[in-house]
Chain A
Amino acid sequence: MIHSLFLINCSGDIFLEKHWKSVVSQSVCDYFFEAQEKAADVENVPPVISTPHHYLISIYRDKLFFVSVIQTEVPPLFVIEFLHRVADTFQDYFGECSEAAIKDNVVIVYELLEEMLDNGFPLATESNILKELIKPPTILRSVVNSITGSSNVGDTLPTGQLSNIPWRRAGVKYTNNEAYFDVVEEIDAIIDKSGSTVFAEIQGVIDACIKLSGMPDLSLSFMNPRLLDDVSFHPCIRFKRWESERVLSFIPPDGNFRLISYRVSSQNLVAIPVYVKHSISFKENSSCGRFDVTIGPKQNMGKTIEGITVTVHMPKVVLNMNLTPTQGSYTFDPVTKVLTWDVGKIAPQKLPSLKGMVNLQSGAPKPEENPSLNIQFKIQQLAISGLKVNRLDMYGEKYKPFKGVKYVTKAGKFQVRT
């Protein structure tokens, strides 16, 4: 399946290569560079490229390209999904998936890649198993290793690999047993010029941080499970239980993981917590325009809306912007033409606004369309869909764990057309 992997940074250097079958020359990446050049924007590089003898499937993550070389038919999503899993693993091990981190830990990276793929077919991708085979680098461990001569590499087969719950390792022990769940909902919306909602939906995830000893068997139930329209599960969840009782029953992996992600049924009306008043205009035949944006709370369920950021990709003809915010601060990057306004909290008494003039390139025709506003915000202690965890029960272990649930609502792809 996967023949080779090349890691390429933004400036086009191949800084790591790994081959699972015969060696494929680096020159195969030239086809990739060609496509990259054609695409102009990194986002537009096609994920699948056909070359005379190989196929290149690539992903772009954290300013790095992961380019895999394929020789025969394979489901492209299989490769893409795997490459993302590799990137996730790096992130997990080194705290970031960057060129520097990978170069510093090149041996661990190699050991990881060796374990993750055998002859191009995934072998072990569960982070719990990998961590038993290859210990993540920590400062303490590297000191200990250099003194005692012990190694980072486990010499027995991880128990998980053979059990039917490969995601959990055996013999987990904590002094404080804790289980935390974060219910994070994101509102994806497109708001049109007049302020009416073109499209809105809620996507949510439940991320868990489980630090429980032994083999706990958890079941999590909701007050209103019917809200969940489409759900995807971590493999640990017993599907049958969910089908019949709408209860999430599982033996959790150890540590952080995503328990489920879900979509709230589209029948439900989505509450839009903010509104935006905007007037952006460019004068005909003159090199300036006006920019005026105000944000206010709407349907916020009595919670404060925080962390508001407005990002605008201004048209190319915009040279500079002269704005005054009533609250927060703004930056405009004249190269990328991106305006970012960091608003912060909304105080209901005085609505934050950003006003001022836009300087245009003289002589150029005025932009056709006003740019759309991308808005970010965050509401603590609220799941906008109304989803509520009812209770968490633990079976199989005797101790009493500390349990916690946190709700957050965020803006996902929240776009206001102007």
Chain B
Amino acid sequence: MSSNSFAYNEQSGGGEAAELGQEATSTISPSGAFGLFSSDLKKNEDLKQMLESSKDSAKLDAMKRIVGMIAKGKNASELFPAVVKNVASKNIEIKKLVYVYLVRYAEEQQDLALLSISTFQRALKDPNQLIRASALRVLSSIRVPIIVPIMMLAIKEASADLSPYVRKNAAHAIQKLYSLDPEQKEMLIEVIEKLLKDKSTLVAGSVVMAFEEVCPDRIDLIHKNYRKLCNLLVDVEEWGQVVIIHMLTRYARTQFVSPWKEDDGLEDNEKNFYESDDEQKGKSDKKKPYTMDPDHRLLIRNTKPLLQSRNAAVVMAVAQLYWHISPRSEAGIISKSLVRLLRSNREVQYIVLQNIATMSIQRKGMFEPYLKSFYVRSTDPTMIKTLKLEILTNLANEANISTLLREFQTYVKSQDKQFAAATIQTIGRCATNITEVTDTCLNGLVCLLSNRDEIVVAESVVVIKKLLQMQPAQHGEIIKHMAKLLDSITVPVARASILWLIGENCERVPKIAPDVLRKMAKSFTSEDDLVKLQIVNLGAKLYLTNSKQTKLLTQYILNLGKYDQNYDIRDRTRFIRQLIVPNEKSGALSKYAKKIFLAQKPAPLLESPFKDRDHFQLGTLSHTLNIKASGYLELSNWPEVAPDPSVRNVEVIELAKEWTPAGKTKKERPAKKFYSESEDEEEDGEEEEEEVEDSSDSSTDSGGESGESGGSDEDSGEDRSEEDAPSGRQSESASEAEAESKRAAKRSLKTKRKRDSEDGKKKSEKSKDSASSSAESSSVEESSSDSESESESDSEPESRKITKVKERKPQQDRNPHTKDVCLLDLDDFNSEFTPIALPTPVLSPSLIADLEGLNLSTSSSVISVSTPVFVPTKTHVLLHRMSGKGLAAQYFFPRQPCIFGDKMVSVQITLSNTSDRKIENIHIGEKKLPVGMQMHVFNPIDSLEPEGSITVSMGIDFCDSTQTANFQLCTKNDCFNVNIQPPVGELLLPVAMSEKDFKKEQGALTGMNETSATIVAVPQNFTPSMILQKVVNVANLGAVPSGQDNIHRWLKEIVVNYVMTHFGHQKYLHTIFSVFFHG
């Protein structure tokens, strides 16, 4: 410090101001209390001098002192011109401090602040991202309305910056600009929309914050990003997580139907206990009417790990999400984490306990196992104690009340009297809620009446009064006891309560009541207002029931009341006199006076003060204060009918661009169909460089597009296994492990696909997405192929369009059986799977495996390798029930690589017994196969019950031909000749490759075989996606992402292959189809 000041002194050469400066800096540290020694004015002069010096050190010192002034709340605004000159300083620390100053004072000195703008504009173009970001921060923070257009421009530019850090700052700037000039809303929403698409975890939290502030009602902006946000959530920084979770909670409440069953409102405490461990899966199997939207499930599942966060706010956010949107039976898991937070500091405890209190009113069962965690320690602050007490009361039930009452006994004796009083109230509430212990509690409270502490006694009196009111019968003794207390007790509420009690029960204690009135009449003038009112009441009641003894006393009291200082009492006295004392003027009412005064009064309900808080979203400020805070966003009720879930579908096709440089410039037609042009345009080159940051951890990098697909770990697992796939195939001996993982991955995709087919035309879009994704995700290395076929479609201007798909062999007729295969319960999957292509399969593969195992006899043997785009549900009859004497058999092609041999096509056969007897020993008998064909039969089935059905799988090597496989299906008694002839489409396997690779492969093709089929479509449905749907229906193909609008490339691999021997080193043969649509 001192060296700095010397440097400065030398520099400024001994003027008067310099002397001042020397004096100041050499004796006192710059941030210290300089102001004590010289007047503000002088000091500022000195600072100005320092700021104008050419030495950075002097400037820095000056700035540090100025910041010290700002921190203390002193006014340093007159230094503005001197400070603002330094905004372009090279020294980064000076610069930062100048920024601090500017942000603080620019609003007050708008004109001068404009001087600094050009510096920021220059800095916005700086190659250093930190400088760009901080320039944007300051520019947007200085709150000068004139520069709004400049800010807007800067935000727009920054939102397209290459650095996610700058984009994050842009998101923050949006809110600042919005608060400065709400007029800009529309433009800002555009930026928000663009930034919402950002795939960087850094940006996500900030942009959602901006969204919440600027346009929380534009829920439509979220649709497309919903799945991405869910998947990124784990990797977003913790503050962003909180904001995103709150926003998604609101979103879910508008987009999904309620997962709560009507009957499981308040009483499902027990149920939730036993069910909480249930796998999500089994549950929705049981309850047919409600099936959860897979996106809903996605959110619930992806937030669960965050319960383990170290940040209390994140845990609370997840807890409220579970509370508000998960099925009741699953919300149980949050209690453990919330209880964990109780170890934290008192402020966190306070908020968490409040929320638990609200929850425990509705769902006791959730927190009952943690009852003891809410026991009060004498060292807790009172506010924590009372909250814990509240929760203990809510949790009290028949089973635990005795333990609790023992615990309460300790509390009643507490030195903290406020807390002791609260405990007494609690006991009262327990007594009313749990009838078994009412008497015990009452006795306990009566004992407390002899307590030495007045507050305790008074509180007991009040509580006893309430209890007695509920069951007025035979408690004369207690009332007498309390009447005696009137002599000693001084707390007004308690005295008033006793008087009221005596008045109510004056007919039960006929001797005591008039005596009490006498005593009270004596002390009337010195009583509290509250007590006086009750004395008047007591007098009136006695006058009506026992006028002989009390008439004069009452009149005396009424006279006293008439001249009381308090107008309430005078008022009441007059009213009562008119009512009870009959005179000529008295109206009709006095006849009913007795009815009015001695009416049966409803017992007060002792309720939790947290009762009415449940209409606020948990974890919010409004909930804590129990007032609607400004900016609180209401949680809407569940919609009756869920809005269209397809709005959340995302065009995964976009990914392709990153892999095929050629495709980058072009857009997919189908994408345009569904999404607005502008969105497409905004997908810019940045994506490429982001992808690595996005992926959730290093391991996912292997699956190139994992970052894009949402970065969740499941995804990455899948990607990886799919990458393994081709190499496995190439090296002839695919290792078992790889195959296993491939299958797992595929299964999940496959099931998705399946459902897609059901989802009707509207979603054909989707399956196209899947097509591309699967095409990419299996991979590429294979090269040679011997045939190519092209198919063209002539698009005629008439009402029908005919697309001819020429394939390798003459087309086989497919039996158009439309009956569903019961192999997998499609309805189930419909509900359980995300109807989209890439982002995480909703269920883990292993779960699906389990499910499949349920239906398939040879559980693990029906598995697959890569990912078919679409699995037709079409089945073919193998054996009709009439000809099979009750045994019916149907087969279909699951389009999974066969595990029995990699040249085999897997076939699933569903056998069902339509007869009324058991069919025993079903097996495959004699096989009559053409040369070269092989067949792997299923294990014999011992018996099949009537009405039973079973699905088995087998593998057939068709030798790449469509020759029929004839064989016998035998039972114990009969043999039936059956045959399977494969459509050519089923002999193929889809392969993923980029367009570039595709073209390379295409060039290497040598021969061609042709197969043709006709696809019929009406013109209005003639969208590429629709055609895609039709094509995959016929053949097991994948789509290659294509740059040209109307070309789809089809890719397949022949499963079985003998031509291969000609190529020697190549194991597989590819057939590549190009389908041209002229449009």
Contacts and interface: CB of A to CB of B under 8 A. Distances in A.
Interface of A: 1, 14-19, 21-23, 26, 41, 43-44, 46-48, 50, 55, 58-61, 70-78, 80-82, 84, 103-104, 106-107, 109-111, 114, 118-119, 121-123, 125, 146-147, 149, 151-157, 161-164, 166, 188, 190, 192, 198-199, 201, 203, 229-235, 238-240, 243, 258, 261, 263, 266, 313, 315-316, 365, 367-369, 371-372, 374, 413, 415, 417
Nearest to B242: A78
Contacts of B407: 198
A77 B347 CA distance: 8
Interface string B67-86: 11011110000000000000
Given A73-B629, A81-B311, A164-B695, A190 B130 contact: no
Contact of B627 (A50, A82, A147): A50
Minimum-distance CB pairs A-B, first 10: A72-B631, A369-B413, A151-B93, A43-B381, A157-B130, A77-B313, A47-B347, A122-B239, A199-B372, A73-B631
B86 to A, nearest CB: 14
A29 to B, nearest CB: 11
Contact of B309 (A74, A153, A233): A233
B31 interface: yes
Interface string B388-420: 000000000000000000010010011100000
Contact of B337 (A1, A70, A230): A230
A65 B352 CA distance: 20
A126 to B, nearest CB: 8
B379 A413 contact: yes
A379 B800 CA distance: 86
Given A77-B312, A146-B1, A164 B625 contact: no
Interface stretch (B201-209, B498-506, B594-602): B201-209
A114 B100 contact: yes
Nearest to B618: A75
Contacts of B129: 157
A249 to B, nearest CB: 10
A146 B130 contact: no
A316 B415 contact: yes
A257 B130 CA distance: 27
B377 A75 contact: no
Interface string B112-138: 000000000000000011110100010
B382 interface: yes
Contacts of A413: 377, 379
A157 B165 contact: yes
Given A77-B348, A78-B313, A114-B96, A239 B415 contact: no
B350 A47 contact: yes
Contacts of B70: 110
B415 A121 contact: no
B68 A107 contact: yes
Given A164-B693, A368-B452, A103 B622 contact: no
B217 interface: no
A315 B378 contact: no
5 contacts: A41-B382, A118-B137, A118-B172, A121-B172, A235-B309
Contact of B697 (A84, A238, A313): A238
A200 B729 CA distance: 59
Given A106-B31, A121-B239, A235 B93 contact: no
Contacts of B372: 198-199
A232 B340 contact: yes
B689 to A, nearest CB: 11
A234 B631 contact: no
Given A73-B631, A81-B313, A151-B93, A372 B693 contact: no
A107 B165 CA distance: 24
A368 B315 CA distance: 41
B107 interface: yes
A17 B71 contact: yes
Contact of B378 (A149, A154, A198, A372): A372
A23 B70 CA distance: 11
A80 B347 contact: yes
Contact of A77 (B141, B316, B381, B631): B316
A107 to B, nearest CB: 5
A111 B96 contact: yes
A370 to B, nearest CB: 9
B818 interface: no
Nearest to A25: B73
Residue from A107, A166, A367 having most chain B Cβ neighbours under 10 A: A107
B593 interface: no
Contacts of B620: 73, 75-76
Given A147-B3, A368-B452, A315 B71 contact: no
Contacts of B169: 118
B164 interface: yes
A119 B381 contact: no
A73 B632 contact: yes
A110 B621 contact: no
A82 B242 CA distance: 12
A161 B134 CA distance: 14
